[in-house]
Structure 1
């Protein structure tokens, strides 16, 4: 009896190369590409319903805990206005108390998470009028200055870091910053600006953007080589529950969106309307806006309440439902945005989460991706919230 020696058949260089390439593709799909990824959270409108409870701490605290539990963690959070019911109550401005809550544990954000702000109309309303309607009828210049002073006093690596202001007059009201090594640009605007020549101006729900800010937006976007460009302003250009939902909410907002279209902005984020909505602004909107020519398809994402009274509830006037393509949810909400600038063209995925009352489980209520589903399915930037969803 002799021992037989068995040999495996030789593997050709071609077959080995194919096998190694396949293994590499499989492994790369499993490894998160954190070096080329950016994640941020967008939300707004945490105000309460009365001067006795100016911030809805219950819902805002629940959202903050959801944000804290995100994996991977976001690089920063953008809050676009209406922090508190009133800017000034009993002679005291409410901005600092809101910021303190946002940092207090266990209901606040991580101390290391940078926070950016856009101003809303409630940052400009004072308590003390003859009625709620009278208080909200005007926007106060003094509040706007106090808001700017508040940011100056708290400016840090975790609060409004690395921004470039339009100019001193618009300090912290109209500004820009970049992320992901300059591959993502963010432009923040003020839709309720009070000119220095006026102590107050009438409040108009739609808001507006003056020519100075429109020029600033155009100049900043056109000068940027960023792969992804985001614009944030408290008031949306299109009102998701208005009867004439294809029409711009204000003439200046039509001019605003023409710049958004022409500069091929990646996405626009708003609050002000107390619900969640995502609609693609495209050529279907031209008929209602005959002086404009929208040729792109760009998402307007309204993540409009992380505490403010939900549209259509007892504390908020009833509104007609938006059409199906507005992806409307009348719930508390926040949006998580994942950006991939690793290719020649930037890509984004937006996962939005909703809750009926803030204490019920938060669940995925809308998903938007700027690239085909086949690519999104293999995107390593998968969202995990506190419930592992």
Structure 2
């Protein structure tokens, strides 16, 4: 069997990063990948401003019990006057600091009567001022090429005045499920049938990776149906994912269909549980990944093996998210001949390391474990792992985004 790390590396390198770019408005850039390195166009804040509602003073003008006349009321977006000696200017959050002022008194620390401020509690000199450039300095690198853009990244870019971005095209993904035993949810089902859970699951997983799911097809177990489905997928998609039909049974027709289209296939048995059978093919220069038919296995293989390929093909700088560690909470030891990826939930305590509690049933048919789990705990092959052991932890919020 192919070692898990080797399979992950080979799949990550199976695609090529994009070599074309497009321009995208900032408000449509969520989930896009930067095709350029971006730098700060201005200091942030661009000028000293007040961190709260209050009064601008010259710290040296304070005398206990003596009120300071209010020279001006300056709202955010209004240019302040220069502060005169012995006076104060009323400010609001975001108001520019007047020339000559060096401190802001919170409104809670003063009393204004008849347009004069009595300071009840003098703050330290320089208090409550956001200084020019304390957040970002003009010319700083904001984000390197290959950054996935989320809401936080867009907020920073908007603060720098970016209205359009150069990004890579969205990766177009096509999905193909196979098997005469599968029925679309909502359709009549006989005892010999099961509902097709792989199609909506994988479509959601790919969409959450910021890929564009162009087709979600199901093909009957015939050469003609598979040939037609593959032709549609290959015409419109950059990456094709199939589920089931790559074994050696009489109805496992995916491999012959790929070969009939001129594709080459590398069929592996990966040393991982769940998810041993995985195939990688290439047709017309496009990668095709064949996942195991069991939904739990397909979920695990997508998470651990397919997402690095997707990130690479999207042009992301980070292909493999960080691996964390946690302490396994179990009374039952684990010992498998394959790397086992347990569905676990995390709990945090004062120790620092998260505690990883496995789902009660780890069988590859236990679909209820998927929405319950926060991540996968990796148990080394041919190793007895007891409760309390520190193991590698793959957080789904990082690996599936």
Asked if TM exceeds 0.5, the reply is no
- In terms of Rg, which structure is larger? 2
Give the structure-2-normalised TM-score. 0.29
Give 1 or 2: higher strand fraction: 2
Give the structure-1-normalised TM-score. 0.29
